[in-house]
């Protein structure tokens, strides 16, 4: 990913666009075939240092680039290089090439992260864990189901990213304000075809920035999903909960002051970087509104946020896959926490059983609520209190206080996950 966004590679892509335009001019008969062929044989991507050196004089990076490339060409090559083009024809089209490369790397990262999540989900398909709402014990679920939810969310992120990348797979060689006055739609078509891009159906002097805003927003959504998953890991790793732990290598130190510490630093790092990627999305949205056919208020910001967003998310996906692969799962602690609330999570099952037995819903609710508060406040077993209160005369407590119903339909979700995985592989 660092290579894709390096200055060296950017200049390589700029040259690729310039040479595609020369090839197209030759095919249209505007310039001799020999000019385009000779230029392709001899043109060398200039070094960033040489471009900066020339830019000191020109005050224009693309103009400096053209001059630097011209140093490796003969007179005819220099004459026709950049013919009819404006800077953004090269900049925006080359950016689309970089985004395509970077996007492919992110898709691979998403696949690796998803593979890691699915493998651990299968491993813990029936590992019971307390489900929490508002941070409070609710009803049991399984750790596998929790992870399966992450897998479905990653797949939605993959779909969104593929759509946004397709929206960026366009180039433009329509000239100064998009009227083709010095180029022509056929030149644009031929050059874009060589580059594996579609001609933008309409462009001004730039490709409109709603495409870039969509892309950055999608990166932010994927980053926010990783943020949510890692926040859950951080909560489950708290001392009072201690249901999972991050991998901790031999010789690693969790704190410079406290030798006992084993902190969820990778999850925290991912959460922190998600804020950076969301910030990039905000910049992308700000860049949509430009003056008339163009200004360059977007340019300086994009040079920072687009590479940074891709680099950050690439790193986040890599670290997240590593984190999930090595996550230490304390199933026995999950069961201890399940039992810590004295069986109160059976309250809904008891409520429904009492309703089925003939009690009015509100009467049944008040009865179960009273027993639940007694159990919680007194630290007593909820089932024993229900039995002592005579509830056993109305319902079968063995059926009510049974954990199996919480896992009864787990396989249905995993069957859906299998279908999803097959569709992804086939695609």
| Residue 50 to residues 2, 64, 78, 417, Cα–Cα distance (Å) | 21, 9, 17, 53
Cβ proximity of 215 and 99 under 8 Å? yes
Residue 176 in tokens: 């100064």
Nearest in space to 217 (alpha carbons), one of 309, 320, 96, 300: 309
Query: CA-based diameter of the chain, in Å?
Result: 101
Collapsed DSSP state (helix, strand, coil) of residue 136: strand
Q: Which one is catalytic: 42, 181, 202, 255? A: 255
Q: Which one is catalytic: 134, 260, 292, 300? A: 134
Torsions phi, psi for 402 (to 5 deg): -130, 125
DSSP string, 388-417: HTTGGGTS-HHHHS-SGGGGTTHHHHHHHH
To the nearest 10 degrees (0 to 180), the angle between helices 87-123 and 61-70 is 100
Collapsed DSSP state (helix, strand, coil) of residue 173: coil
Query: Across-strand partners of 80?
Result: none
Cβ proximity of 84 and 179 under 8 Å? no
Nearest in space to 373 (alpha carbons), one of 385, 391, 388, 356: 385
C-alpha 327/C-alpha 325 separation (Å) is: 6
Alpha helix segments (H runs only) across 253-346: 265-286, 297-326, 331-339
Instruction: Please say if 134 is a catalytic residue.
Output: yes
Catalytic residues: 134, 255
């Amino acid at each position: 990913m660092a290579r894709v966004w390096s200055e060296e590679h950017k200049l390589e892509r700029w040259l690729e666009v310039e040479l595609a335009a020369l090839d197209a001019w030759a095919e249209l008969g505007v310039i001799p075939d020999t000019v385009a062929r000779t230029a392709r044989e001899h043109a060398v991507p200039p070094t960033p240092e040489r471009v900066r050196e020339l830019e000191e004089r020109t005050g224009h990076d693309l103009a400096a680039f053209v001059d630097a490339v011209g140093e490796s060409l003969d007179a005819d090559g220099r004459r026709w290089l950049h013919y009819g083009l404006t800077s953004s024809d090269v900049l925006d089209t080359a950016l689309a090439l970089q985004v395509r490369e970077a996007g492919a790397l992110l898709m691979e990262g998403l696949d690796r992260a998803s593979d890691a999540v699915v493998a651990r989900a299968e491993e813990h398909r029936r590992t019971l864990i307390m489900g929490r709402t508002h941070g409070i014990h609710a009803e049991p679920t399984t750790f596998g189901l929790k992870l399966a939810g992450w897998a479905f969310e990653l797949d939605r992120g993959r779909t969104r990213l593929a759509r946004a990348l397709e929206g960026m797979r366009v180039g433009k060689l329509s000239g100064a304000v998009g009227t083709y006055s010095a180029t022509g739609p056929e030149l644009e078509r031929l050059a874009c075809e060589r580059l594996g891009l579609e001609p933008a159906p309409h462009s001004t002097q730039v490709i409109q920035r709603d495409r870039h805003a969509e892309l950055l927003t999608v990166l932010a959504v994927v980053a926010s999903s990783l943020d949510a998953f890692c926040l859950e890991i951080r909560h489950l790793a708290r001392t009072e909960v201690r249901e999972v732990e991050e991998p901790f290598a031999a010789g690693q130190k969790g704190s410079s002051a406290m030798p006992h510490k084993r902190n969820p630093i990778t999850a925290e790092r991912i959460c922190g970087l998600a804020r950076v990627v969301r910030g990039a999305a905000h910049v992308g949205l700000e860049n949509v509104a430009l003056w008339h056919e163009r200004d360059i208020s977007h340019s300086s910001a994009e040079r920072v946020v687009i590479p940074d967003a891709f680099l950050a998310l690439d790193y986040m996906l890599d670290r997240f896959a590593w984190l999930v692969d090595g996550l230490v799962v304390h199933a026995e602690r999950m069961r201890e926490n399940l039992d810590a609330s004295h069986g109160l999570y059976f309250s809904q099952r008891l409520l429904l059983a009492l309703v089925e037995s003939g009690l009015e819903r509100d009467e049944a609710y008040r009865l179960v609520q009273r027993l639940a508060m007694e159990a919680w406040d007194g630290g007593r077993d909820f089932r024993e209190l229900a039995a002592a209160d005579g509830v056993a005369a109305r319902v079968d407590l063995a059926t009510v206080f049974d954990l199996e119903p919480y896992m009864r339909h787990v396989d249905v979700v995993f069957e859906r996950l299998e279908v999803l995985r097959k569709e992804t592989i086939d695609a």
